[in-house]
Structure formats: structure tokens, C-alpha cells
Structure 1
Amino acid sequence: MKPQTTNLLPLLAASLSSASPLSILLPPICPTVGLPATRAAQVRAAFQSSGIVPDVLTSINPTTELQVLYGNIPENLGNTFSALQTLQEPTISFPPEPLHPPSTKYTYIQIDPDAPGPSLPLLHSYLHHIIYNLQPSCVFAQSPVTQARYMPLTPLSVAPHRYVSLLFRQPAGLGEYKPPALNLVEDVARAPFDLAALY
């Protein structure tokens, strides 16, 4: 059973919360606002105009706002970063998805469909990062698991690459989630990463 795509590429705002000692004893208060229709349309348009649909995904139906921050700079539907700005692993956050409890878990995946260069992408869909068991940012006691450690965005070409950040909802009610096996040999065999076959 495939998890549904909930949001892709970076989006804007994040939901921030503060905690008191009492909040550890109480369930998280997670306001759910959902992704406005205008923002969802912007995401779909950006993915289509950049060729992410159909190069990486057949379609996209964003339902929450994924924020990927490099330092204090967010990814935002096609903005440009230097390789130096992306040396450190990004911070990932998102608010609760409508109609799903805050306990819902998600998998974050980042890939580069243009490696080693956009004109000749021989390493199409190079895998940069996978983290599973992520939860909305209002949930303080989380236990995310890194399946593929972060590889900095250091393309071998001068031309800019498209880096795609995706968030998938994990299946619920099936016991402990086991992600698809990657068979990575350290960090050597990261391409081609077949997103459609695994997710």
C-alpha cells in the first residue's frame, strides 16, 4: 500500500509552538489550518513548470506546508542556494495535516533529478536524504529515524540543479512502520533512486 503524497518541495510558513513543563503530560495542541487552495495551486504550478511533474512525480496533491530550512533560509518553490549554504543538514518542519491526528507519521525524501548535470542527468533521481517517523512540529516527543543520511547539495555541474523535497504520509494501523529497503552501500549507490517503485 503506497503512502499518499502530502506535500512536495519546500513551502513557506511553519507552525511554531512553545512548551511548558506541563505540556509533557498533556497531548499536543496542534491547530490544523490546512493548505490554502491558492498555495496548493502555486505548488502544483511550480512543480509542473519546473518539470518535476512528470520527471519525478506523475501528479501532486499538497495538503500541508512543508518547510525545509538551510540555516534561516527556506526552500521556496525554486529559489536558488549556493553549495556552501547547503553543507549542513536542513531543518524540516510542518503543521498537522487536516483530517489526520498529530500522531500521524511521515517520511521526508530529498532527491536531485538533474545529477550530475541538467543537460545529461545520468544519475537521475540522486538520493540526498530520507528520514521517516517524522511528526508535525507541534509534537515535541518525536523519534524520527534517518534511513539515508544527508548528502550536501554539491552538484558537479555549473548549471543549477532541481532539488526536490517531498513529504509522504506513512500507512497507519499496521504496527511499526518498515520503510522500503534501499540497499545502500555506504553512500556510493544513491542513484538512480526509483521513487515510484519504492513509494
Structure 2
Amino acid sequence: MSTVGSLVLGHVIEEVLDPFTPATPLRITYNNRLLLAGVELKPSAVANKPRVDVGGNDLRVFYTLVLVDPDAPSPSNPSLREYLHWMVIDIPGTTGASFGQELVVYERPEPRIGIHRMVFVLFQQLGKGTVFAPEVRHNFNCRSFAHQYNLDTVAATYFNCQREAGSGGRRFGPRTS
């Protein structure tokens, strides 16, 4: 299944992002293990920030990476949606997050209730120095953020995370209006 298909299946497209066409390769690895869309990772596996490689073919094109939790503090009551766990701006194309500027320090995901989707979104910026940090981490909104700074969504992926002793999978039923 394609990454976009996984984002649709996991309701990331709809709840966090509008439909988009992937335009830039995004490779994320935690502890030298490639992140595949929709995989489940425990908090111990994501304790340290991942290595993030951004594709593209031009060092003069800059990107912003965010990691959000649309299920905070719990999937049944996401009142802090979308909780911002990490933000790196000014990442030059063909490099990685380590070449950008970390505006919001990585905060390890530690869900206490239920299974949380942890969503990485890569935005293309208009230019270097055109994106700024929000005042708070809670109730971040990827759509509003993109609109505010004229950002284009060029890649996204997600993983599921639940407390260390948790078990079971995320279930999506039919949507009710």
C-alpha cells in the first residue's frame, strides 16, 4: 500500500491533512530502523529523535518538518489535538533534519491512554527564515500552520504508539456524521 493510502486508511488525511500529492522523498529512521507508515512503535523505541532524510534536488529549497499527535490526550477525547512533539525548519533539500533549525525540541511520545497516531509532515517553505514556532505545543493545527506560512505539504507518514505495556491494534469503524 502506498504511503498516501496508509494516510487515508489511518484517517490522517481527513483529520490532520487535506489530500496532497507527495513531491519530496522523506525517510525516517528510529534506531537504524526505517519507519513504515502505520507501524506500531512503543515509547522506548521513539525515546530519541529520529534521523530524518529529506529528498529533493536543490539545496536552495527549504523544508519544515513537524511531528504531531492528533489523538492527545486520548483518542476518545483528543482535546489537545494536534499536540506538537517536534518542529525543525529551514531543512535544505537533499539533506536531513540535522541540517535544519530545531524550533521545538523533540519530546518523546508517551501515550497514557489508547493508541495514538504520531504524524510526521514535511512542508516546503517559500524560503529560508519564513517559518516561526508556535507559542504552545497543544492544539497545533497543520492546516492552519500551512496556510499561515504559505507552506505546501510534500510528504507525510505516521506510526501508531501506545503505552509500553499496551497491546492491541487501532480499529477504525465506519464514519458517522
| TM-score computed with the length of structure 2 as normaliser | 0.75
The 3 A distance-change label for structure 1 pair 138 and 168 is: closer
Q: Which amino acid is 2:111 matched to?
A: P
Q: Give yes or no for the alignment of 1:120 onto 2:67.
A: no
Secondary structure in 2 matching 1:107: strand
**Distance between the aligned counterparts of 2:120 and 2:68, measured in 1?**
7
Aligned to 1:149: 105
Aligned to 1:136: 93
Compute the displacement of 1:110 (Å). Answer: 0.6
Aligned to 1:72: 32
Normalized per residue, which structure has more strand? 2
Secondary structure in 2 matching 1:45: helix
Any unmatched runs of 5+ in structure 2?
147-177
Q: Give yes or no for the alignment of 1:50 onto 2:13.
A: no
Q: Give yes or no for the alignment of 1:183 onto 2:135.
A: yes
Compute the displacement of 1:64 (Å). Answer: 2.2
What whole-Å deviation, never above 9, does each CA across 1:64-88 have from its counterpart, x for those lacking one? 2211111112221100101101111
CA contact (8 A) 2:53 2:95 kept: no
Paired residues, what number?
Answer: 145
The 3 A distance-change label for structure 1 pair 177 and 196 is: same
The 3 A distance-change label for structure 1 pair 118 and 64 is: same
Compute the displacement of 1:103 (Å). Answer: 2.4
Q: Give yes or no for the alignment of 1:110 onto 2:62.
A: no
Aligned to 1:13: none
* Identity within the alignment, %: 23
Compute the displacement of 1:183 (Å). Answer: 1.4
Q: Which amino acid is 2:59 matched to?
A: P
**Distance between the aligned counterparts of 1:66 and 1:73, measured in 2?**
14
Moved runs in structure 1, 4+ residues, more than 3 A? Answer: 136-139
Stretch deviating more after TM superposition (129-138 or 87-96): 129-138
**Distance between the aligned counterparts of 2:145 and 2:81, measured in 1?**
15
Aligned to 1:163: 118
**Distance between the aligned counterparts of 2:24 and 2:142, measured in 1?**
20
What whole-Å deviation, never above 9, does each CA across 1:118-152 have from its counterpart, x for those lacking one? 1221211100000011123458xx74111100000
The 3 A distance-change label for structure 1 pair 143 and 93 is: closer
Q: Which amino acid is 1:193 matched to?
A: F
Q: Which amino acid is 2:50 matched to?
A: P
| TM-score computed with the length of structure 1 as normaliser | 0.67
The 3 A distance-change label for structure 1 pair 83 and 180 is: same
